[in-house]
Amino acid sequence: MPANWWTRNRHYFLYIVREFTVVPIALWLLWLLVEIQRAGGGPAHYSPHGSPAFVVFSVITLLFSLYHSYTFLSLAGVIIHFKVLDRPLPSQLIVLAQFALWAVASVVVGFVLIWFAR
């Protein structure tokens, strides 16, 4: 296999993009751990890292995590085999239900974060 096998077609490329998106997400989460550790000293000693470069990196990470979540939930619909009254549920319905749960979870998490930040 040549090293550039993933450039052979669109599906390979999108697969590599999907796998690559976890790299910036992992880096961002590592930085989050550092921030949490820094915040351990109390509000008086803490100032969040907010350089323009970090904001740009955070926005890119957000886009990557949205793409990764979208592909993950779309593919999970293929995997989950669920029967109701001896009939398998259509995978589109499973995918739709997952996106709905994702939206609800995002609203709940957002609400909790804003509530504690007040």
Partner 1 sequence: MADKRVTIQTTRYDPDKDEKPRLQSYEIPFYDDSMVVLDALNYIKSNVDGSLSYRWSCRMGICGSCGMMVNGTPKLSCSAFVRDYWPRPILVEPLNNFPVIRDLVIDMDDFMHKLKSIKPWIIRKQEIPLGAGEHRQTNEQIDDFRQFSECINCMLCYAACPVYGLNNEFLGPAAIALARRYNLDSRDQGLKQRLPVIADNEGVWECSFVGECSVVCPKGVDPAKAIQQSKLDTTMRFVLPYGNRD
| One character per residue 49-78, x = contact with partner 1 (rule: CB under 8 A) | --------------------------x--x
Pick the binder of partner 1 from 11, 40, 45, 92 (CB under 8 A).
11
Side chain identity, residue 10: R
15 in Cβ contact with 72 (< 8 Å): no
Judged by CB under 8 A, the number of residues near partner 1 is 17
CB of 68 to partner 1, least distance (A): 13
Q: Which residues pair with 87 in a beta bridge?
A: 84
Cα torsion through 29, 94, 97, 106, rounded to 10: 0
CB of 92 to partner 1, least distance (A): 14
**Is 108 a residue that touches partner 1 (CB under 8 A)?**
no
Report phi then psi at 89, rounded to 5.
-70, 140
C-alpha of 28 from chain center: 11
Q: Which residues bind partner 1 (CB under 8 A)?
A: 1, 5-6, 8-9, 11-12, 15, 19, 75, 78-81, 86-88
